[in-house]
Structure 1
Amino acid sequence: MMVLYTPIFHHLAATLILCQTSSCAGGFRYLTLFVITQDAATVKIKDVSLEIAFKPTWSNLRAYQGYFHCSDELLNRIWYSGAYTLQTNEVPVDTGRITKGVASGWLNNGALGPGDTIIVDGAKRDRAVWPGDMGIAVPSAFVSLGDLESVRNALQIMYSTQDQLTGAFDESGPPLSQKNSDTYHMWTMIGTHNYVLYTNDTAFLEKNWDGYLHAMEFIYGKVTYPSGLLNVTGTRDWARWQQGYNNTEAQMMYDDTTPVLRNTILKCHSLYHTLKTGAELATWAGDTTNLTETWNSRAASLKEAINTYCWDNEYGAFKDNATDTILHPQDANSMAILFGVVDSDRAAGISEKLTKNWIPIGAVAPELPENVVSFISSFEIQSHFAVHNPARALDLIRRSWGWYMNNPNGTESTVIEGYLANGTFGYRSSRGYGYDASYVSHSHGWSSGPTSALTEYIVGLSVTSRLGKTWNIAPQFADLEFAEAGFVTSLGKFKVSWRKEVDGYSLRFSVPKGTSGNVILPFVNPSRRPSIVMNGVKSAADVIYEESRARIPLKQGGSYTIVVN
């Protein structure tokens, strides 16, 4: 709800009422107007207009550079709800939310960072840069909006406010500037890789490379031996319980951390991913000191340590830390698959175990009981796609995002931060939000995971090197009849579509010339190799068969039609 307080002067034929920038609401469902007076009064409203305060650098707010469409209209709506959410999260840099000294109402005139536009966590709250949220938001923005200027400015403010003594990044950007989060420190590093992957902005990388190296030195310095796991001391995170010591999630993100007594495996996975993406960044930065080899080696050692100390063999999934805990978190187990910390057998088993957290309206996070966390579920759906179980991934998308999309009490056009297992919007009521359901964000980019997942896994279109110089096309079908998607980089347009046919399926795609990649085709019948006809010619010699899929390496971009029977 939007409430407007303003004086109405007597004896004036008309009064023009303007909201100040500091009163920018960021989003609301309805406006309430009322008159407070001791006398009889009549107010006539001639006109009401609204200025959109997001995506300030776009004159045409419909100019999405990416698209998606499939045979399921609910999935189409979910894809665009994520894209639209991200659009509302890209705001003018002078409209950050001020929290200190504000007793009531809101004040949105805080300085967020450089440039003209910047990506924040939510349209209304917190209106601040949160690097962890960007782990989901940035890939989704790339395949939908296409313009990553807001991402560059968000990352730049994290480097500009980096602790010059320790190398630590803040957990969030100004004016919040919260600190003490090893996980979000690593997400700034991972976000740097993702941004350069999608844009090839080598000037940004060169400018901030020394800061990145300092950040790696800081986080890897927390690895302890003989365990080889990350000792988490910066315990702040996305709101999960039990953060600290040898947290598994953090280990996954860094790839070379030390386990701590009460550290979730989430941070271990984060460290793993930080090392792997850092190794690639070092190559892009032109490093000549063997950092790529060093960080890959450390990642391999961390991977071994994670599987040795944090795997619960009896249950078949990762524990929350390297103690005797019985908690098997959603976040770390999803990331274990997605980041490649486990082999295919363990990955398939984890995917099945994750469904034990499901309820009719989503997946409850054991690490934040009674809460459905769309941020973490965004990683989970990708993990199911990664083990080639698209039916399971779509099931979760429909029951969670579909539930909110069709909820008349929601927005029906954006994605929510999270909600309770009982179907109310009191997300995190007992975990920092003071049982105030109005505090929950209903336009939160960290929940936009289906937008990137549907493009990259259902249609199967993803970039594997900067700007899409190399790419993969690996469709997954589930119960859909057809799907198509596309996006643009400075190399040109990427477009893919597939459709099921009577005896198989057809695949059409167009990628820029000068690029190369792999087309990975699922078998029509798992028990036999299919017939593959590409541009009217039956393929044979160039096909590589891997399990129940056929891979065709293509050395040149262009337009192709493939029929598989």
Structure 2
Amino acid sequence: MPLILDGAKRDRNVWIGDINIEGPTVYDSLGANGNDYLKQSIRLLGSYQLSSGFVTGCLAPQSPVHTGPPIPGTTACYSTSYSMYFTPDLADYYRATGDLAFARQEFPIVQRELAWNASRVNSLGLLVTDTSDGQDWDWYDGIKTGAVTEYNALYYLNLIEGAYLARETGQADLATQYTNKAAALRTAINTNLFNSRTGVYDLSDKVRGTVAQDANADAVLFGVAPAGAGPGILAKLKSALWGTHGPRPFTGTGYSTLISPFVSGYELRARLAAGDDTGAMQLLSDVWGQMVTPGPDFTGAMWENLNSDGSIQKGSTSLAHGWSSGPTSALTGYVLGARPVGAGYATWIVQPQPGSLSWTVGQVPTPHGPLAVKWGRASGGEFDVDVTAPDGTSGAIAVPASGPNTAITVNGTTVWDHGTFSAGAGVTSADSDGSYVYLSVSASGDYRVAAR
């Protein structure tokens, strides 16, 4: 059975948390050639759901798919936080592939997982962990108990993605229930776990004042943080955690200073999602630049973690670790700008975030064929983007330009003239938010867009 493992060196197991980074990497680089590795990994892990609803987070690749009823028990390997990656992993797979039959097949597991999560909610509306289920990606830091902010952000993401999968599988009432629970959880997190003194979310209700990279990156990326709060939170992460070779994960004593490319991958996406292109590019260079620089530790792959001085821990550290490949999907989805809107890229958006770059070229494999993008900008502010949309799809091309001050042609036809739209060249509508002009295209084909 095709499966995706965490690394060739160790642990050589199927890890559900790692898949949350590995999956988008595979979808954006291998497409149909790699999709089954994710599908079967998700299927294997979901088959080991316990009667409590907890999804097993780690299995050896030799494990057979469990075909019986849920296995008796409350918790298993690895933790509640890892158990909660099942739902977003399934949602990511469905978004990339459009495999509705598999989403329907696995959705009962999502329902039982979300019921398990709900059973761990306290009187303040926050999910809590204890010594039996409080481990996380940083196993070397030990167990985190109480209402841990990162775990609650993951629970929020579970509810949002659970609602998405419920809608897609035709269960609108259930989608509404999950959406309402997510809104209540978001309020509880912001009321009880945000620290107005530090300007960021606390690590937990038990550990106040510690700045946590994972909790705050997730809060910004997943939409827990209030609108407009992202820049301040990200600025605090930079001032409190960043060093020459990347961020340490936590302030304070008692935590390892190992730099985590896994967690930094979420911060990278959070910065891009918040429009902090400059910070994102610096983070990319600091953490991953040394991995791709020729030298004695170069492997052509991404390292599991690294010391604060940029060196690696000899002996045990994996130097080909999929959980560190976050830049692949981050650069594809934000810098190149190609992302799915409808499942399987039935609809898509191309929305480049140039930052300081002058050009980018790439393509995303989709079930319909490649979605190809090439963009470039001149020193005078002119911006060109070429998009080849695969058959059977439609989407939007977002041009980074001020609507009132820009004229845009598509394949030589003027479709936007300083705020006035004219249909033509396959463009059916257009709108502007002041930073981008959004052109809706109704069919596949080649679109050469020029903004002046």
Q: Call closer, same or farther: CA 1:118–1:528 in 2, change over 3 Å.
A: same
Of 213, 219, 240, the match for 2:111: 213
Q: Call closer, same or farther: CA 1:318–1:242 in 2, change over 3 Å.
A: farther
Aligned AA (2:367): S
Check whether the contact 2:3–2:61 (CA below 8 A) recurs between aligned residues: no
Please give the residue correspondences for 1:511-530 in structure 2 after superposition, counting only pairs within 5 Å: 511-523=389-401, 529-530=405-406
Aligned to 1:120: 5
Q: Which deviates more, 547-556 or 477-486?
A: 547-556
Q: Give distance in 1, aligned partners of 2:248 and 2:99.
A: 38
CA offsets, 1:286-308, max 9 Å, x none?
226x1100001111111111111
Q: Give distance in 2, aligned partners of 1:238 and 1:187.
A: 12
Alignment pair present for 1:308 and 2:216: no
Of 102, 108, 114, the match for 1:204: 102
Q: Give distance in 2, aligned partners of 1:274 and 1:313.
A: 26
Q: Give distance in 2, aligned partners of 1:423 and 1:484.
A: 30
Aligned AA (1:167): G
Deviation at 1:324, TM superposition (A): 6.0
Structure having the higher Rg = 1
Aligned to 1:536: 412
Please give the residue correspondences for 1:56-455 in structure 2 after superposition, counting only pairs within 5 Å: 115=1, 117-146=2-31, 147-163=34-50, 165-174=51-60, 179-225=77-123, 227-233=124-130, 234-239=133-138, 241=141, 243-245=143-145, 260=146, 263-287=147-171, 290-323=173-206, 325-356=208-239, 357-366=241-250, 368-406=255-293, 408-426=295-313, 437-455=314-332
Structure 1 length normalisation: TM-score? 0.71
Q: What is the SS of the residue equivalent to 2:191?
A: helix
Number of residue pairs aligned between Structure 1 and Structure 2: 419
Deviation at 1:407, TM superposition (A): 5.5
Aligned to 1:491: 368
Q: Which deviates more, 549-558 or 339-348?
A: 549-558
Q: What is the SS of the residue equivalent to 1:382?
A: helix
Q: What is the SS of the residue equivalent to 1:301?
A: helix
- Greater per-residue helix proportion: 2
Check whether the contact 2:349–2:395 (CA below 8 A) recurs between aligned residues: yes
Q: Give distance in 1, aligned partners of 2:442 and 2:217.
A: 33
- RMSD in angstroms over aligned alpha carbons? 2.0
Q: Give distance in 2, aligned partners of 1:193 and 1:186.
A: 12
Q: What is the SS of the residue equivalent to 1:322?
A: coil
Alignment pair present for 1:553 and 2:444: no
CA offsets, 1:176-198, max 9 Å, x none?
99625111111012111111111
Structure 2 length normalisation: TM-score? 0.88
Aligned AA (2:155): L
CA offsets, 1:247-273, max 9 Å, x none?
xxxxxxxxxxxxx3xx42100110011
Aligned AA (1:235): G
Deviation at 1:412, TM superposition (A): 4.0
CA offsets, 1:408-444, max 9 Å, x none?
1312411000011023212xxxxxxxxxx31111000
Aligned AA (2:88): I
Q: Percent identity?
A: 27
- In structure 2, runs of 5+ residues without a counterpart are 64-75, 422-428
Q: Call closer, same or farther: CA 1:530–1:369 in 2, change over 3 Å.
A: farther
Check whether the contact 1:406–1:412 (CA below 8 A) recurs between aligned residues: no
Runs of 4+ in 1 over 4 A off after TM superposition: 175-178
CA offsets, 1:378-411, max 9 Å, x none?
0111111111121211111111111122251312
Q: Give distance in 2, aligned partners of 1:243 and 1:197.
A: 33
Q: Give distance in 2, aligned partners of 1:170 and 1:562.
A: 48
Q: Give distance in 2, aligned partners of 1:511 and 1:343.
A: 35
